[in-house]
Amino acid sequence: MATGKADLRREAGQRTRDGLLAATLELLAQRGQEGLTLREITESAGANVAAVSYHFGSLKALCDTAIEHALERYLDAQIEALGFLSSGVTLEELAAAFARPMVGALAAGGQDLAVMRTVARVGIDPPQGWDRLAGKFERARQDALRVLTVALPEVDEQELVFRTRCAAGMLNWLVLAPIGVELAAESAERIERLLVPVLAGAFRGAPSRG
């Protein structure tokens, strides 16, 4: 037997798979699913066009796989960031936790940033088969809402849901629009210092005419 020994053939196949996924993620982050070309991916990954059919079945399946990986990485980071919060936290701490995955991705760049941008694009043009991750989405949403309802008991829950979606949308926009490349040049501390007051203010809302 050779369980402890590497099968070089299978390793090469795994490398091709990973390369295709990485190239696809990068291109998805840059331009989205439309206009994405099979040959563009394979050239960027240094692979043959047939490798996509062989390893993933089709271009669409490759994109779906890359998107699902990105969504899973993003949701795990979001849930982890919010999970640390207790119920008695300030709005600023909530805002900081809410923004942490994006701030970290902007500061880190590379694949982390590509994951973020891809997730943001998916938020605008959702694929049909994201039912599998709907539970995680719901969990991340509930985590934020739970802390928010304690911090702002006087605000209607439906409005808090809306504000959470506004905040998430704002982050998605910032990472996707050209302003994202400006932000990516800043340090994580500076991004957080700019962002947290805006997010916290959006959560709190304006005092009604006071």
Partner DNA sequence: AATGAAGTCAAACGGCTGCTTGAGTTCACG
Partner DNA sequence: CGTGAACTCAAGCAGCCGTTTGACTTCATT
DSSP 3-state assignment of 163? helix
Q: Does 87 bind a copy of itself (CB under 8 A)?
A: no
Closest by CA position to 170, among listed 198, 149, 135, 197:
198
* Interface pick for DNA out of 18, 38, 83, 138 (rule CB under 7 A): 38
As a whole number of angstroms, the distance between CA 37 and CA 98 comes to 34
User: Any idea how long the chain is?
Assistant: 210
Among positions 142-181, residues that touch a copy of itself (CB under 8 A) are 159, 162-163, 165-166, 169-170, 172-174, 176-179
Q: Is 131 in the site for a copy of itself (CB under 8 A)?
A: no
Q: What SS3 state is found at 167?
A: helix
Q: With CB cut-offs between 5 and 8 Å by kind, which of DNA, a copy of itself, none does residue 47 bind?
A: DNA
Exactly one of 32, 42, 47, 51 binds a copy of itself (CB under 8 A); that residue is 32
Q: What are the Cα distances from residue 163, in Å, to 99, 148, 149, 155, 201?
A: 14, 10, 11, 11, 10
Of 125, 17, 25, nearest to 72 (Cα)? 25
CB 14 → DNA: shortest distance, Å?
A: 6
Region near a copy of itself per CB under 8 A, out of 42-50, 60-68, 84-92, 102-110: 84-92
| Alpha helices for 32-156 (secondary structure H) | 38-45, 49-56, 59-83, 91-108, 110-124, 134-151
Which CB sits closer to DNA, 60 or 165?
60
Whole-number minimum distance, CB 129 to a copy of itself, in Å?
15
Q: Is 126 in the site for a copy of itself (CB under 8 A)?
A: yes
Interface with DNA (CB under 7 A): 1-2, 5-10, 12-16, 36-40, 47-55, 58-60
